[in-house]
Amino acid sequence: MTEPSIKTCITEAIKVAMRARDKPRLMTLRLAMSDIKRIEIDEHIVVDDARTLLILDKMIKQRRDSLRQFSDAGRKDLADVEAAEIVVLQAFMPKPLDETEISSLIQQAIVDSGAQGMPDMGKVMAILRPLVQGRADMALVSQQLKARLSS
């Protein structure tokens, strides 16, 4: 039996949140589903799990940015809302990679691509991106890769 898609899990979570009358969670889940459906309608496609992870990852990044801005502005009430939304969205993301796993994936991607230096960074990132998307901060992965390729 195959595992249900992330989109299906979000739909089920919406139903559970409705029954539990959990309005904050319900609102976040509905926002995620509306982003998914908007892309499906705009691009005339059915969004798969990989694309759903990209959408959720983008939503989490937006909320982290808002959280930082609200915290800096002293708006704890709004920062708490953003933090709660991040928790809801992260529940649908795969288990994050630790530093050792990221390092080993970078090393393997360098070997697989035959990268010799910085000009080959694009080739390595093309291999890495599908492996780490939604499981690691791409900016940190990129920094680590640059450090490896420039040494």
Three-state secondary-structure class, residue 117: coil
Distances (CA, A) of 65 to 4, 20, 58, 122: 30, 29, 11, 26
**Which CATH number does the domain 99-150 belong to among 3.60.15.10, 3.40.50.300, 1.10.10.410, 3.30.360.10?**
1.10.10.410
- Could you read off the pLDDT of 69-126 as tens digits, one per residue? 999 999 999 999 999 999 999 999 888 888 888 889 888 988 888 888 888 888 888 8
pLDDT at 132: 84
Region 6-90: CATH code: 1.10.1510.10
Tell me the domain boundaries of the chain.
Answer: 6-90, 99-150
Q: Is the pLDDT of residue 39 over 70?
A: yes
State how far the alpha carbon of 62 is from the alpha carbons of 28, 53, 82, 85, 146, in Å.
13, 14, 9, 11, 25
> What is the CA angle 4-53-76, rounded to 5?
115
Cα 34 to Cα 1: distance, rounded to the nearest angstrom:
28
